[in-house]
Structure 1
């Protein structure tokens, strides 16, 4: 299905309008809320990790990725893993994905 050039331009401009609709302070506040909500969940799963956020997210959700060492319940050395956190901008709640072994991504 071919998409017309004017339609592509309109879609592109709508994304720019969404990103410019809020002040830098509002985006900083959103990113802080995202990091706080997702870090609470990541803290339960990881012994140590790094968090990476999408500073804008999508229209309805914010996204963060953590990579690091999982907490080990068996006492064995825990593998490195990745988890994705999805933050609902309206309800201000966050959920985690399952753990992905970093070896699945060639790391």
Structure 2
């Protein structure tokens, strides 16, 4: 096989396999980001929520990971939720205010 044809064949095989490798690493990267959002948002909410749980938006926005952290408020009855925003670049999190079940169930106006 001439060198030119062999090079073309190698390039074709490499081009065929690259999207598969990129897709797999992207899935791994998304899963790692979701896990980090969950851990950091739960840690941040631990000061105000007993045994918080997080529901993570699978992809978030372009710049931020997003989660809804919920649980029993410390020292009170009921259930609250807080929106957690995770900066994808700095990996810092911020929590929104406490949202009660009534606030979340309120009909749209």
- Measured after TM superposition, the shift of residue 68 of structure 1 is 1.6
Moved over 2 A (4+): none
Q: For residue 57 of structure 2, what is the aligned residue in structure 1?
A: 54
Q: Which runs of 5+ in 1 are unaligned?
A: 1-19
Q: For residue 90 of structure 1, what is the aligned residue in structure 2?
A: 89
TM-score, normalised to structure 2, is 0.69
CA distance in 2, matches of 1:45, 1:29: 26
- Report the structure, 1 or 2, having the larger helix content: 2
Any residues of structure 2 matched to 1:1-107 within 5 Å, and which?
A: 23-72=26-75, 77-106=76-105
> What is the RMSD of the two structures over their aligned residues, measured on CA atoms?
1.7
Q: Equivalent residue of 1:78, what SS?
A: coil
TM-score, normalised to structure 1, is 0.70
Q: Which runs of 5+ in 2 are unaligned?
A: 1-22
- Measured after TM superposition, the shift of residue 37 of structure 1 is 1.1
Q: How many residues align?
A: 83
Larger radius of gyration: 2
Q: Equivalent residue of 1:23, what SS?
A: helix
